[in-house]
Chain A
């Protein structure tokens, strides 16, 4: 409660200050610049759940167009996101690739397709390689907490993939890309528009690769061969005051891999989802929307030795989500939205205390988007999520934007975010078969320990069991953004955004008991308080239609507050290397959280030459970061081993042969940079060619 009070106090003050300051500044200005046609076209829905002009949205947002996706010849979602300022793609030990925004991990970023969430986060990370992007209109990214609209997981941001709509009947798009490591990516799409305006389109993708091996010494592949298929169909129809939209998506992936000389494994992932949206215009300024969504994710892994099964694991998740929204328009641009949602999820997986976990929750949210005058607008909203297994959450957000000078606008937003504990943190019951340690979910500790005690497996308890009568709390954050946009013409756009996220009750595991085999038993607790802060800036210069020049930079600090305090108190020690004596660590020597680079920098140049020839060059630099502690104090200090900073440089060229055929060539990772033991998701230099036919 005190947190909410504190938050309301801060936010109301901040809002008042910005409000007074901006109304003073905007009253002083005389000339009103008309919004350019380009920015008028840039419409974004993710920030507000209503259609909004990107330029007037008071939240830090990014819009990646179909054009850009096409020009960089990307096959999967991670390829596109990886090139955006402020977004870092992080490999997972499980083999997936997740996203990091504002220093927050994949677990805290919601990934949506047409506004609805993807599931299947086996160890928290949502693997971006699952998502084919041949049928995408645009990708929308909102930085900072959006829990006030989306609830759990939208603590660090939201990525929304908007599928494309067909414009004319019977289009045909065939796309084939062949790349190094025998990587084949085939996209096919077509559609139909009936006389009465019904639209139907279909998209199919097939992707296969031989994988690659960065470390030749160990007889194992870094990425084993795999192939997957994606199918997507979409149907939409509108008549008078009624609109209907329905889509279905399927995904199937298979991979065979080698664990060691004798152990072989098979992975099988299949996923489907179905989404129906209904729109009803009651009056000119009152609309009702509703959607219902089903999605299922199944992953199976079998490991066998000489045809005999050794280990089987499975992960079957199912989600039903429905939402009803009422949208009222006031005046020209003011909007009020009220939503009511229901979620029902279930999970069954191995190493769980219960075979099948289910949970349902309801939520309600409201939001007002208003304009105080032509140059200033704001958003006020909040959402309430009701849960049975843990504390219910209220997530408010306030955002404000104003033009302070002719070409300069100021954006500021403050919002609360949360992430509900995942089922693993509540119900896990896992014992490592080779080493013998155990990890147990918070809700099942009492049962598991009492069983182990009966069997004389527990040597001594470190955390008293009555601590587990308390429920695990959701992780919560306070997210602050302050941005400045300078946009004097269509040619130049400079954006700077300062951000700060304060996260409380971060869930982590710690030892709760010693087992008689000398190993530990771990469980999950609300332990840490961390913060991430930094600045993200983009400079975009477009002198003419043929040249586009983008520079982006992010500075990031991400630290654990308790570690900062202990270091300041002189209670923390480090070693120069793992064989030297310890000494007291100085505050300046704390590097911060794992896997966070202080500096990321990117440069993109798109050039259109004569004769329908296009070139582009894109590069990304990521400064040094640490993946684990190497001197035993359990966190990252300047005396630990780091992953070296590196540059990933890509180039591409395309030539339009005629109206319907385009040929592309490119090289990814031109500098052939690899770091086998630390950066598993960066293969060596990749050459590719791509053929596109549009009819």
Chain B
């Protein structure tokens, strides 16, 4: 009995030591988990009182590696304007003030919770195009549901996780929590200020790693 235990222990130690050896040679970076609060994404035009006019205005760009918004024309991953989300990959849909894409970003909408979406399905990734965005716009199509009258609220659809490939080929997943300033638990369309994103994200900084 005693010999078998010692034998097993020995094997275990060998496995352990070989693992650490491999880790030493690659040194993976830690996965980044963060929350962004009140990312302001204004737009001009559109609907909202009076006849609809063409939507315009600069997108608010976000860069996962720095974890902050940016005004760079090239070093950004995703952009926000009103309810619209674009990626820095593919081509412009051609709306006014839409930035040109310089990177290789892509995205898709997965179903699950932020923790349950643990693997990127690279076959689902698509880029913005002249027909539409990688993250489809409109209520119920992408990340949000518009309740219509009488509550008239934009609510992030539960279980919709946005999965992105960043402009430089890394991966991130995002769960939007609120579209209203200071993310009130019960927003009211008459008082709450919209176009302020609060979201949780998890960023995988290691090149080529598709799991979180």
Contacts and interface: CB of A to CB of B under 8 A. Distances in A.
Interface of A: 93, 433-436, 459-460, 511, 514, 517-520, 571-575, 577-584, 628-634, 641
5 contacts: A435-B47, A514-B137, A573-B159, A582-B160, A630-B186
Interface of B: 46-52, 55, 83-84, 111-114, 116, 131-132, 136-141, 144-145, 147, 149-151, 153, 155-160, 175, 177-178, 180, 183-187, 198, 200
A632 B141 contact: no
Contacts of B139: 520
A433 B51 contact: yes
A506 B139 CA distance: 22
A520 B137 CA distance: 9
Given A459-B131, A511-B138, A517 B52 contact: yes
B158 A631 contact: yes
Nearest to A629: B147
A304 B151 CA distance: 25
A633 B186 contact: no
A185 to B, nearest CB: 30
Which of B112, B150, B159 has most A Cβ within 10 Å? B159
Contacts of A520: 138-141
A581 B131 CA distance: 31
Query: Main secondary structure on chain B at its contact with chain A?
Result: loop
A584 B115 CA distance: 11
A522 to B, nearest CB: 10
Contacts of B160: 573, 582
Given A511-B141, A518-B84, A577-B185, A632 B113 contact: no
The 7 tightest CB contacts between A and B, nearest first, are A573-B159, A632-B155, A573-B158, A582-B158, A579-B183, A577-B185, A579-B178
B173 to A, nearest CB: 12
A460 B132 contact: yes
B138 A519 contact: yes
A628 B113 CA distance: 23
A630 B151 contact: yes
Given A433-B51, A632-B145, A577 B200 contact: no
Contacts of B51: 433-434
A632 B52 contact: no
Nearest to B140: A511
B155 A630 contact: yes
A560 B15 CA distance: 53
B175 A582 contact: yes
A582 to B, nearest CB: 4
A578 B156 CA distance: 8
A88 B6 CA distance: 76
A577 B147 CA distance: 15
A578 B185 contact: yes
Nearest to B156: A632
Contacts, number: 113
A578 B155 contact: yes
Contacts of B187: 578
A408 B171 CA distance: 71
A578 B153 contact: yes
A133 to B, nearest CB: 31
Contacts of A632: 144-145, 155-158
Contacts of B52: 434-436, 517
Given A511-B141, A633-B157, 15 more contacts: A436-B52, A511-B140, A514-B137, A520-B141, A573-B111, A573-B158, A575-B158, A579-B177, A579-B180, A581-B200, A582-B113, A582-B159, A583-B158, A629-B147, A641-B186
Given A577-B186, A578-B186, A519 B157 contact: no
A436 B148 CA distance: 12
B159 to A, nearest CB: 3
A514 B48 CA distance: 18
Nearest to A632: B155
Given A434-B49, A632-B157, A514 B185 contact: no
A637 to B, nearest CB: 9
Contacts of A582: 113-114, 158-160, 175
Contacts of B153: 578, 630
B178 to A, nearest CB: 4
Contacts of A578: 153, 155-156, 178, 184-187
Nearest to A511: B140
A572 B48 CA distance: 31
B100 to A, nearest CB: 20
Contact of A518 (B50, B112, B137, B177): B137
A632 B46 CA distance: 22
B138 A514 contact: yes
Nearest to A519: B138
Nearest to A218: B190
A640 to B, nearest CB: 11
Contacts of A519: 47, 138
A434 B83 CA distance: 17
Residue of A459, A579, A629 with most partner-chain B CB within 10 A: A579
A584 B29 CA distance: 30
Contacts of B150: 93, 628
Contacts of B137: 514, 518
Contacts of A633: 145, 157-159
A287 B66 CA distance: 89
A419 B195 CA distance: 42
A632 B50 CA distance: 26
Contacts of A641: 186
A45 B85 CA distance: 62
Nearest to A678: B150
A632 B178 CA distance: 11
Contacts of A629: 145, 147
Residue in B47, B139, B160, B175 with the greatest tally of chain A CB atoms within 10 Å = B47
Contact of A460 (B55, B131, B175, B200): B131
Contacts of B141: 511, 514, 520
B184 A579 contact: yes
A93 to B, nearest CB: 7
A582 B184 CA distance: 16
A581 B46 contact: no
Contacts of B111: 571, 573
A579 B155 CA distance: 9
Given A514-B132, A578-B178, A631 B50 contact: no
Among A577, A582, A584, A629, chain B packs the most CB atoms within 10 A around the CB of A582
Contacts of A518: 46, 55, 83-84, 137-138
A218 to B, nearest CB: 9
Nearest to A585: B158
Contacts of A583: 113, 158
Contacts of A630: 147, 151, 153, 155, 186
A433 B53 CA distance: 11
Contacts of A514: 132, 136-138, 141
A573 B178 contact: no
